[in-house]
């Protein structure tokens, strides 16, 4: 009886499609139940749960396919009946994420631990913590090479550098400190407390803009939560301004936004969602906006088709090498640094 009623509804859907709007959207499959003929698709930061008509056409690369061939993480273009929310057509897109490769950067580990990377603009130098409370550096010849000649710089945590690698902000004893050097061939000076930011509560995860004039970081909010804020200065010698909250608008995210990384054009914000329980999409996220005067609204979870959900911290995108580095939790409370090769933010 239920099957009969479903068939009737599908027929009605198809017959009424010509009299009601048929919506076409592009999105990413969150889940699909071929038996129940339902599909959940995320598009423009929103999830839609839709029934799939038994007469719906499913195509892959121009050839007919079955509903059970769809997988979570695949990009699709689908058309559905606006009133009845029943899918009439699904086209699977060629997904550039199929070429993504997830690798552990194991050469950076010390006693099985490495975390919180910061990459140079060309992706050939990495600053990170191979153990708690110490900042190290290493280099590689190209994106296909191992990092070599790793060495310790000084005590500190959460390093972030300007594009020329001459200015660094890091954590020392729970506060924001800064240091600089005259050239890449010379050593950094002893880090000094940023006094105008010394009273910021529970600071973590600093992110310095390429020009060194804007600093993003996490702090404890007035409601005892965590918020992303930004401070600015007019020159490298000027004082930092009072931090202001970075506008991120969504009511569908569980947890706090942490481990911020903002692209050089200020239109992309990578982060981790923490404090809530990671969902089926993991907790690594990319937020986008049309220009720097707008709030970040549209977000996507960073996923690799055919790979278990990605859970981690400190996503760092390197446009020059199409790589995304991040810290991934391992067993016995240790962390290691991983990289996603062939990463293209526009494919999310």
**DSSP states along 236-296:** TTSPPPPPEE--B--SS--SEEEEEEE-TTS-EEEEEEESS--BTTBSEEEEE-SSTTSPB
CA–chain centroid gap for 245, Å, is 19
pLDDT band at 322 (very low <50, low <70, confident <90, very high): very high
Q: Considering only CA atoms, which of 292, 290, 294, 281 is closest in space to residue 348?
A: 281
Where do the domains of the chain lie, and which CATH numbers do they carry? 2-94 (2.40.50.320), 98-347 (2.120.10.30)
Residues 60, 46: contact at Cβ < 8 Å? no
What is the sign of the dihedral through the CA atoms of 342, 345, 346 and 348?
positive
Q: Which residue has the higher pLDDT, 333 or 32?
A: 32
Mean pLDDT of 7-24: 56
pLDDT band at 186 (very low <50, low <70, confident <90, very high): very high
Nearby residues of 138 by Cβ (< 8 Å), 6 or more positions away: 107, 108, 125, 126, 128, 147, 148, 149, 150, 151
What is the sign of the dihedral through the CA atoms of 92, 345, 277 and 329?
positive
Helix (H) or strand (E) holding 8: helix 2-16
What is the sign of the dihedral through the CA atoms of 68, 72, 75 and 79?
positive
What is the sign of the dihedral through the CA atoms of 228, 176, 109 and 184?
positive
Per-residue pLDDT, 276: 64
Q: Which residue has the higher pLDDT, 93 or 134?
A: 134
Per-residue pLDDT, 103: 95
What is the sign of the dihedral through the CA atoms of 150, 152, 156 and 161?
negative
CA 189/CA 37 separation, integer angstroms:
63
Per-residue pLDDT, 160: 98
Mean pLDDT of 25-47: 86
* Interval 91-100: pLDDT, tens: 987 655 557 8
CA 50/CA 41 separation, integer angstroms:
8
Give the angle 252-257-261 at the CA atoms, nearest 5°: 125
């Amino acid at each position: 009886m239920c099957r009969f009623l479903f068939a009737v509804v599908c027929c009605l859907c198809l017959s009424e499609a010509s009299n009601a709007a048929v919506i076409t959207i592009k999105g990413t499959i969150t889940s699909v139940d071929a038996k129940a003929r339902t599909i959940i698709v995320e598009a423009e930061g929103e999830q839609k749960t839709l029934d799939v008509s038994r007469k719906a056409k499913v195509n892959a690369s121009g050839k007919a396919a079955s509903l059970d061939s769809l997988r979570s993480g695949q990009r699709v273009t689908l058309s559905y009946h606006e009133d009845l929310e029943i899918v009439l057509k699904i086209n699977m897109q060629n997904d550039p994420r199929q070429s993504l490769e997830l690798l552990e950067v194991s050469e950076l580990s010390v006693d099985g631990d490495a975390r919180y990377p910061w990459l140079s603009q060309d992706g050939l130098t990495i600053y990170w913590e191979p153990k708690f409370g110490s900042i190290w550096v290493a280099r590689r010849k190209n994106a296909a090479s191992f990092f070599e000649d790793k060495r310790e710089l000084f005590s500190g945590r959460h390093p972030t550098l300007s594009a020329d690698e001459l200015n660094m902000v890091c954590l020392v004893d729970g506060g924001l400190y800064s240091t600089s050097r005259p050239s890449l061939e010379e050593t950094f000076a002893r880090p000094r407390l940023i006094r105008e930011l010394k009273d910021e509560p529970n600071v973590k995860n600093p992110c310095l803009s390429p020009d060194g004039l804007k600093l993003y970081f996490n702090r404890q909010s007035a409601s005892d939560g965590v918020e992303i804020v930004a401070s600015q200065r007019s020159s490298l010698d000027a004082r930092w301004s009072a931090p202001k909250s970075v506008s991120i608008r969504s009511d569908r995210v569980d947890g706090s936004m942490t481990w911020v990384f903002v692209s050089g054009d200020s239109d992309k914000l990578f982060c981790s969602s923490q404090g809530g329980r990671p969902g089926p999409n993991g907790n690594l996220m990319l937020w986008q906006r049309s220009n720097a005067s707008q709030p970040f609204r549209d977000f996507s979870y960073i996923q690799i088709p055919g790979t278990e959900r990605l859970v981690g911290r400190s996503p760092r995108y390197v446009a020059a090498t199409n790589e995304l580095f991040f810290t991934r939790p391992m067993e016995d409370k240790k962390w290691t640094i991983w990289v996603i090769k062939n990463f293209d933010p526009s494919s999310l």
